[in-house]
Structure 1
Amino acid sequence: MEAEEERFPRLRQVLLLFVLLAHTCAEREDYFITEETESGSFVANLAKDIGLGARELSRRRARIIFNNDKKHFQLNLQTGDLQVNEKLDREELCGSTEPCVLQFQVLLEEPLEVYRYKLLVTDINDNSPVFPEAEMILKIMENTLPGAVFPLKNAQDLDVGVNNVQNYTIYPNSHFHVLTRNSGEGRKYPELVLDKALDREQQPEFRLTLMAVDGGTPPKTGTTLVLIHVLDINDNAPEFVQPLYRVQILENSPLGSLIVTVSARDLDTGINGEVVYSFFYGDEEITRTFALNELTGEIKIIRKLDFEKIKSYELDIKASDGAGLSGKCTVIIEVVDINDNTPEMTVASLISSIPENSPETTIALFSIQDPDSGENGRMVCSIQEDVPFTLKHSVENFYKLVTEGVLDRETRSEYNITVTATDKGIPTLSTETHISLKVTDINDNPPCFPQDSYSVFIPENNPRGASIFSLTAQDADTNENALVTYSLAEDTIQGAPLSSYISINSDTGILYALRSFDYEEFRDLHLRVMAYDNGDPRLSSNVSLSLFVLDQNDNTPEILYPALPTDGSTGVELAPRSAEPGYLVTKVVAVDRDSGQNAWLSYRLLKASEPGLFTVGLHTGEVRTARALLDRDALKQSLVVAVQDHGQPPLSATVTLTVAVADNIPAVLADLGSLEPSADPDSSGLTLYLVVAVAVVSCIFLAFVIVLLGLRLRRWHSSRLLQAAGVGLAGVPASHFVGVDGVGAFLQTYSQEVSLRADARESHVIFPQPNYADTLLSQESCGKSEYNYNCYFIEKETVN
């Protein structure tokens, strides 16, 4: 109780602090300090500037916050003085940026007030001019006219303003003097001017000293040696197409990217016209960042750019010909900022727990900043929408997180709040801070399952006693009221109690299978799981659970057709000998009790008495002829067909087919006689019909043979008459006439008409084009002739 009495006054103080904070208006003031000021030096009296006493600063817990997270200064809470904490180096802090400004904030926590200040660090002349090289070499043609100007490499001075390089001199100067020029960016560089004509034969070389003088008090100097070689005539120096190149490039450009290509022209020919490009002076920062192709003038990136460190580069490019003449141009590369820095968030104060009946309360105070510029540095702050909290903008870049009304622990006992700071760049970048807040409780919640229902999949043939699923019910209460026990609602499955199939661990909620499930027996079962807490009275909830049995490949294919006869005989399929390739002989039909891929069947010919004669459809099971049947093919063919499913591992079954092949009925009967008779009544009836059909066909075939023999005898008699009449057919071989060589089965004839006129002295034999017709048709056509011819037939027998 005493702890709570002490905590509530402190909450009232925090609330009062943020009420005052909402009405605070910070003023900005500027201070000045010279670089290299010793540590502990006095800068300003912040207590006086803020309007508070030194003791008031200590009481209100004043502290200094720098944007770069460095502690350059310290606040003396005893005197209210702002003192130097470490010696400042303006060149290290700001480089060439002018003016050099440090920003900091004074934060008063009780009540909260923020004052923002700027501190200007002024430069002193603590750096001397330094040339990039200890020696410069110039090559000047001897016919160069007085007044010619030669650019020289300028000296670098880390100081700024008047403390930077202001003037250049050169000595001795009997032939030359130096001019100090201003670049477009305010930088001064020297130019060597020829005053007197040169004569290489009199003096081939000059050694001059170039001095750079800054504007400090006292001034500081730097020198370098200028070595001038007088060359023979080369009257055209390289000249750049444009003296100034200005380009922009994104700071995230990949290495090797081409920035710009400088180009210089030289009107000379040969070696005097060959231009080579180089950096005019070897500044380390430039040579480490950019590469210049000395032949093409291409400038590429070789190191990553960073807009936040260097915003622009100034490159002096020199173009030299083979004789030593040179020209100069300036390339200004402006680095374009991209949104590559995420916002930074700093939490100033935070509370981790709050009573559920507390009124609107401040949970956290934090500040945000982004080192990018423009829209890339503008930020918005937000939290997720599913929490009863809101963000309020305080002063400057400070935000506070407050509750929206009274919290209810029964609704939610702990909040994980994500505060997101997002900039307005493209693409947007963001940073997150996670705040956890706990709320006190009372006990009035039953157990609750995360889902309204569950679906469980278990493969069939599972081992008995295997764990199949785990259920967990959550209780928002604590201690004894949050202990949950589980049970199954009473039910029956196929007349058996549910408890004989499934059991549940009352403490852990793990479900166990008490028997092995068979997919072909049943495929799913539905049950309800009850969850009880340990409170008084006991509260409960339930959830429905659907258990689905998954099929496994545990059934072999079952062949429906051809079915094996019950008497043990072998079924017979008939295939006529005249069957063409692709003729459907029969079809194997099979099923599989499994489902899905386990029931997909494929057929293949496992064994055949005549390889290559029959094929089996992979997916249809159709048995077809692969080629035309030949006389040498056996009348009885035996095939073994395998049926296999697509399960893992695959299962298969086989069936043996007997195919009777014959071209005429007697051959079929002879082959059928060698097969075992079937005791099946249907098979006996089929055999009776086949015998009757064979007898009828045999009678017709016998009559056809008798008629054919009679016709052949008649033709033979006619041919004898023709020979007796003296017709000149002695040259025709006797084997071409009917009956000489005999008649084969299924005789084909080549019919030729022979015409003999009765009133002619000489006989004429006419052979029209051959036609494939039988003998009866040839006689009919002869009888219909309009002339009184006697027709004879010369036949060539062909046995198929």
Structure 2
Amino acid sequence: MEAGVERAVQKRQVLFLCVFLGMSLAGAEPLRYFVAEETERGAFLTNLAKDLGLGVGELTARGTRIISDQNMQFLLLNSLTGDLLVNEKLDREELCGPREPCVLPFQLLLEKPFQIFRAELWVRDINDHSPVFVDKEISLKILESATPGAAFLLESAQDSDVGTNSLSNYTISPNAYFHIKVRDSGEGNIHPELVLNQVLDREDIPELSLTLTALDGGSPPRSGTALVRIMVVDINDNAPEFVQSLYKVQAPENSPVGSMVVSVSARDLDTGINGEIAYAFFYATEIILKTFQLNPTSGNLYLKGELDYEAVQTYTLTIQAKDGGGLSGKCTVVVEVTDVNDNQPELLLSSLTSPIAENSPETVVAVFRVRDRDSGNNGKTVCSIQDDLPFLLKPSVESFYILVTEKPLDRERNTDYNITITVTDLGTPRLKTEYNITLLVSDVNDNAPAFTQTSYTLLVRENNSPALHIGRVSATDRDSGTNAQVKRIPRN
């Protein structure tokens, strides 16, 4: 298990990326831990006390806890022993999808004294998914005039696993006419091509049925199959050709559903049915089918679902133009989703100390974190509080902020404070979030009792009886509770 330790001015408004030099943070690299997906709940990961060089009891004494952006309790810290355990089974595909590596960042927060350590949980993939073809039967029309060496793209399988456990090869059932060639797209995806070995004769063999098998790289490998039905057709000597082989367009993430993204166009030199073109998606993933809709006649591409820059920034689509004779051409459409300022900043409160003693200067009142899911200036934030309060807002590390007292408080003047933390992003239009904190001030015995008069003159008749009431003296105390209870002791 790999581990690296990190050790990580004063303004009312501070930018998101400022660094608070007064706090300590351990090092440039985060602590790093590895776990295989589907590991059982309660599995031991590490002993944090040893990793941080702390005694066993220090984690409890310093108020140690785990914070994660995902608000997921995927880890459990036993602060008595220092053991870090897996709190739930992790599904790498659900957590990270196709992204590799699958890294879940979290922070270790020690409150007394305040210290933050960055850490990462790397979830390793296991081979728990088999390759799957969207269509169990693939129909293919091939002209009898096709020459040996001609290649025909087949539908690719999908495998939710990544790395060596993802798709690695394709095979075809033994036959004399075709073999499989595996083509690498250059983006980590492989596609099968059916390559012709010898000339077809429609009069001898009008149709062939072959089994296409997709294999992953796991040990042992998993596989999935699809039936390839090949129909041999009479000659159609011109395949459709797209005007452009690559279409690149940009679409704002707030584009309305139903709006047109791009129009693709292909042409075919043949006439009649052999020149009639129909457009369709080729090897479209589930997310593409949910997001886009293609007009088969015009080639217009429309939005079927909402775009979200924070979820997907780029879509790559392959569109096929097929004529009535079975020949086809393909083009690639790349849709780049552009960000708009549609996410308000978020404030995540980690700790709050209330009430706080009135004689507590430079005391940490609250610890919180700010984040904004937008990008660029839309994701940069400014954080502030009211100007007329005896508090300071200090930036820490990893977008953490600390609210501290600027000077001793006076409970006799203010028994509580209503603090509004305002987080504003730098996008257009600017979005903001306000978070209200009510802080109670507890009393300390900082006021001496005071008489209502500095001297009292009382007249007493002579020969009076004992215990005769001759007057009253009065004293007050500005403190509260037991600190304000006054006891009068006479002196000779």
Q: TM-score, normalised by structure 1?
A: 0.51
Aligned-partner Cα distance in 2 for 1:56–1:174: 73
Aligned-partner Cα distance in 2 for 1:100–1:438: 43
Q: Return closer, same or farther for 1:316/1:427 CA change in 2, 3 Å cut-off.
A: same
- Asked if the contact 1:21/1:113 (under 8 Å) is kept, the reply is no
Match for residue 398 of structure 1?
Answer: 400
Aligned-partner Cα distance in 1 for 2:414–2:118: 40
Q: Superposition pairs for residues 104-183 of structure 1, below 5 Å?
A: 104-183=106-185
Kindly state the Cα deviation for residue 272 of structure 1 after the two structures are TM-superposed. 0.9
Q: Deviations over 1:433-455 (max 9, x none)?
A: 1112355899xxxxxxxxxxxxx
Kindly state the Cα deviation for residue 402 of structure 1 after the two structures are TM-superposed. 2.5
Name the amino acid aligned to 2:153. Answer: P
Q: Return closer, same or farther for 1:34/1:303 CA change in 2, 3 Å cut-off.
A: same
Aligned-partner Cα distance in 2 for 1:213–1:21: 53
Q: Superposition pairs for residues 258-407 of structure 1, below 5 Å?
A: 258-354=260-356, 359-407=361-409
Q: Deviations over 1:732-754 (max 9, x none)?
A: xxxxxxxxxxxxxxxxxxxxxxx
Aligned-partner Cα distance in 1 for 2:66–2:364: 23
Q: Return closer, same or farther for 1:247/1:203 CA change in 2, 3 Å cut-off.
A: same
Match for residue 207 of structure 1?
Answer: 209
- Asked if the contact 1:238/1:326 (under 8 Å) is kept, the reply is yes
- Asked if the contact 1:278/1:317 (under 8 Å) is kept, the reply is yes
Name the amino acid aligned to 2:383. Answer: C
SS at match of 1:286: helix
Kindly state the Cα deviation for residue 282 of structure 1 after the two structures are TM-superposed. 4.9
SS at match of 2:377: helix
SS at match of 2:296: coil
Q: Superposition pairs for residues 565-714 of structure 1, below 5 Å?
A: none
Match for residue 420 of structure 1?
Answer: 422
Aligned-partner Cα distance in 2 for 1:43–1:375: 38
The equivalent position to 1:55 in structure 2, one of 54, 57, 81, is 57
> Are residue 434 (structure 1) and residue 466 (structure 2) matched?
no
Moved more, 223-232 or 182-191: 182-191
Kindly state the Cα deviation for residue 122 of structure 1 after the two structures are TM-superposed. 1.4
Aligned-partner Cα distance in 1 for 2:54–2:222: 45
Aligned-partner Cα distance in 1 for 2:368–2:425: 16
- Asked if the contact 1:280/1:318 (under 8 Å) is kept, the reply is yes
Q: Return closer, same or farther for 1:120/1:284 CA change in 2, 3 Å cut-off.
A: same
- Asked if the contact 1:22/1:395 (under 8 Å) is kept, the reply is no
Moved more, 407-416 or 375-384: 407-416
Aligned-partner Cα distance in 2 for 1:428–1:26: 34
Kindly state the Cα deviation for residue 308 of structure 1 after the two structures are TM-superposed. 2.3
Name the amino acid aligned to 1:279. Answer: F
Q: Superposition pairs for residues 393-792 of structure 1, below 5 Å?
A: 393-407=395-409, 414-438=416-440
SS at match of 2:58: helix
Kindly state the Cα deviation for residue 357 of structure 1 after the two structures are TM-superposed. 6.1
Aligned-partner Cα distance in 2 for 1:298–1:94: 32
Name the amino acid aligned to 1:137. Answer: S
SS at match of 2:25: coil
Match for residue 30 of structure 1?
Answer: 32
Kindly state the Cα deviation for residue 307 of structure 1 after the two structures are TM-superposed. 2.2
Q: Return closer, same or farther for 1:103/1:277 CA change in 2, 3 Å cut-off.
A: same
- Asked if the contact 2:354/2:441 (under 8 Å) is kept, the reply is no
Aligned-partner Cα distance in 1 for 2:121–2:261: 37
- Asked if the contact 1:307/1:336 (under 8 Å) is kept, the reply is yes
Q: Return closer, same or farther for 1:273/1:121 CA change in 2, 3 Å cut-off.
A: same
The equivalent position to 1:42 in structure 2, one of 41, 44, 48, is 44
Name the amino acid aligned to 2:73. Answer: K
SS at match of 1:39: coil
Q: Deviations over 1:643-662 (max 9, x none)?
A: xxxxxxxxxxxxxxxxxxxx
Kindly state the Cα deviation for residue 380 of structure 1 after the two structures are TM-superposed. 2.3
- Asked if the contact 1:236/1:267 (under 8 Å) is kept, the reply is yes
- Asked if the contact 1:21/1:111 (under 8 Å) is kept, the reply is no
SS at match of 2:24: coil
Match for residue 103 of structure 2?
Answer: 101
Match for residue 445 of structure 1?
Answer: none
Kindly state the Cα deviation for residue 106 of structure 1 after the two structures are TM-superposed. 0.8
- Asked if the contact 1:239/1:327 (under 8 Å) is kept, the reply is yes
Q: More relative contact order in 1 or in 2 (CA 8 Å, sep 6+)? A: 2
Name the amino acid aligned to 2:426. Answer: K
Kindly state the Cα deviation for residue 252 of structure 1 after the two structures are TM-superposed. 1.6
Q: TM-score, normalised by structure 2?
A: 0.81
Aligned-partner Cα distance in 2 for 1:22–1:93: 35
Aligned-partner Cα distance in 1 for 2:45–2:243: 53
- Asked if the contact 2:360/2:405 (under 8 Å) is kept, the reply is no
Aligned-partner Cα distance in 1 for 2:175–2:381: 60
- Asked if the contact 2:23/2:115 (under 8 Å) is kept, the reply is no
Aligned-partner Cα distance in 2 for 1:358–1:175: 87
Identity of aligned residues (%): 58
RMSD across aligned C-alpha pairs, in angstroms?
2.4
Q: Deviations over 1:483-512 (max 9, x none)?
A: xxxxxxxxxxxxxxxxxxxxxxxxxxxxxx
Q: Return closer, same or farther for 1:81/1:410 CA change in 2, 3 Å cut-off.
A: closer
Aligned-partner Cα distance in 2 for 1:182–1:150: 15
Name the amino acid aligned to 1:198. Answer: L
- Asked if the contact 2:313/2:337 (under 8 Å) is kept, the reply is yes
Kindly state the Cα deviation for residue 409 of structure 1 after the two structures are TM-superposed. 6.5
Q: Deviations over 1:208-258 (max 9, x none)?
A: 111111111111111100111111121111122233333332222111222
Q: Return closer, same or farther for 1:41/1:175 CA change in 2, 3 Å cut-off.
A: same
- Asked if the contact 1:144/1:235 (under 8 Å) is kept, the reply is no
Aligned-partner Cα distance in 2 for 1:41–1:355: 43
Aligned-partner Cα distance in 1 for 2:281–2:414: 67
- Asked if the contact 1:55/1:78 (under 8 Å) is kept, the reply is yes
Kindly state the Cα deviation for residue 74 of structure 1 after the two structures are TM-superposed. 0.7
Aligned-partner Cα distance in 2 for 1:431–1:48: 39
What runs of 5+ residues in structure 1 fail to find an aligned partner? 1-19, 443-476, 478-800
- Asked if the contact 1:151/1:328 (under 8 Å) is kept, the reply is no
Moved more, 344-353 or 76-85: 344-353
Structure with the larger helix share: 1
- Asked if the contact 1:21/1:112 (under 8 Å) is kept, the reply is no
**Number of equivalences:** 424
Name the amino acid aligned to 2:51. Answer: D
> Are residue 79 (structure 1) and residue 81 (structure 2) matched?
yes
- Asked if the contact 2:41/2:86 (under 8 Å) is kept, the reply is yes
Aligned-partner Cα distance in 2 for 1:49–1:368: 27
Higher-Rg structure is 1
Match for residue 235 of structure 1?
Answer: 237
Kindly state the Cα deviation for residue 273 of structure 1 after the two structures are TM-superposed. 0.8
- Asked if the contact 2:75/2:85 (under 8 Å) is kept, the reply is yes
Name the amino acid aligned to 1:206. Answer: L
Name the amino acid aligned to 2:336. Answer: E
Match for residue 707 of structure 1?
Answer: none
Name the amino acid aligned to 2:116. Answer: V
SS at match of 1:415: strand
Kindly state the Cα deviation for residue 49 of structure 1 after the two structures are TM-superposed. 0.8
SS at match of 2:366: strand
Aligned-partner Cα distance in 1 for 2:249–2:359: 63
- Asked if the contact 1:179/1:190 (under 8 Å) is kept, the reply is yes
- Asked if the contact 1:238/1:321 (under 8 Å) is kept, the reply is yes
Q: Return closer, same or farther for 1:209/1:39 CA change in 2, 3 Å cut-off.
A: same
The equivalent position to 1:221 in structure 2, one of 220, 223, 234, is 223
Aligned-partner Cα distance in 1 for 2:284–2:114: 53
- Asked if the contact 1:132/1:282 (under 8 Å) is kept, the reply is no
The equivalent position to 1:246 in structure 2, one of 245, 248, 271, is 248
SS at match of 1:315: strand
Name the amino acid aligned to 1:205. Answer: E
Match for residue 70 of structure 2?
Answer: 68
Q: Return closer, same or farther for 1:245/1:65 CA change in 2, 3 Å cut-off.
A: same
